[in-house]
C-alpha cells in the first residue's frame, strides 16, 4: 500500500505539465487579485474560439483532442451526460450551450450549464487566486486494483481574463488499464472563450 501511495504522489507532482508553462502568449492577460474575484463572473460560450497546445489520446480515435475542449470538461473530472444530450437523447449543438460562472468569494464559484435559456445543472468549483489567475484545486484519483484494473487521472486548471474573453489553461495526465484494454490522455492546452454577458 505504501508503494502505491508513493506512486500516487510522484504522479501528482510530476504527471502534468506545470500551468506556469502553459498559455496563449500573444494575449494580454489581466492580472486579477483575490479581491477582484467578481471580474471573472459572466456568461460564456462553452466552445472556444482559439486554442493551442498539445493533447494526445491513445489509442488514436481520429479526433483532434484540442478541438473537443470545452469549459466544462476542463473544470470537472466528470461532466454530466445532460451537458451532451437533451431529455430526448438528441445531441446538443455547441451554439446552444452556455456557461455561467459566478464567484461567491475568492475561493468558491458556481458553474452553471444552460441549454439555450434553460438551466440544466450547477456545480461548485474551489481554488485560490495566485499570480493573476484563479487556480482550481488539482483534481485526481488512483484506481489500484491490480491486476484487474489500474489507472490514474490528474488534471490541473487555471482561469484568467483577457478583455471580453475567459482564458483557461489546462493540463491532464490520465491512464487506465483493465484486463486487455487501456487508454491514456496526456498534454496541455490553452483556450479562449467569448463573453456573452458580464454579471
pLDDT in tens, 139-187: 877 777 666 677 788 899 999 999 999 999 999 988 777 766 667 788 9
Distance CA 146, CA 133 (A): 38
CB 143 within 8 A of CB 176: yes
Grid cell 494526445 in the structure block, residue = 56
CB 120 within 8 A of CB 83: yes
In 3-state terms, what secondary structure has residue 46?
Answer: coil
pLDDT in tens, 127-138: 999 999 999 998
Distance CA 168, CA 162 (A): 11
pTM attached to this predicted model: 0.84
Domains of the chain by residue range = 2-198
pLDDT recorded at residue 3:
56
Distance CA 114, CA 194 (A): 15
Amino acid at each position: 500500500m505504501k508503494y502505491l501511495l508513493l506512486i500516487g504522489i510522484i504522479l501528482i507532482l510530476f504527471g502534468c505539465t506545470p500551468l506556469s508553462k502553459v498559455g496563449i502568449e500573444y494575449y494580454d492577460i489581466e492580472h486579477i487579485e483575490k479581491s477582484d474575484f467578481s471580474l471573472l463572473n459572466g456568461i460564456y460560450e462553452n466552445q472556444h474560439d482559439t486554442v493551442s497546445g498539445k493533447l494526445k489520446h491513445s489509442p488514436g480515435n481520429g479526433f483532434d483532442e484540442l478541438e473537443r475542449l470545452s469549459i466544462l470538461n476542463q473544470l470537472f473530472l466528470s461532466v454530466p451526460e445532460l451537458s451532451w444530450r437533451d431529455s430526448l437523447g438528441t445531441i446538443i449543438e455547441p451554439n446552444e450551450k452556455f456557461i455561467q460562472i459566478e464567484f461567491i468569494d475568492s475561493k468558491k464559484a458556481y458553474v452553471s450549464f444552460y441549454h439555450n435559456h434553460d438551466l440544466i445543472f450547477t456545480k461548485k468549483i474551489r481554488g485560490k487566486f495566485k499570480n493573476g489567475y484563479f487556480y482550481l484545486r488539482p483534481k485526481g484519483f488512483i484506481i489500484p486494483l491490480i491486476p484487474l484494473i489500474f489507472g490514474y487521472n490528474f488534471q490541473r486548471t487555471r482561469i484568467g481574463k483577457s478583455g471580453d474573453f475567459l482564458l483557461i489553461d489546462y493540463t491532464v495526465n490520465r491512464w487506465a488499464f483493465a484486463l486487455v484494454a487501456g487508454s491514456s490522455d496526456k498534454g496541455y492546452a490553452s483556450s479562449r472563450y467569448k463573453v456573452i454577458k458580464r454579471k
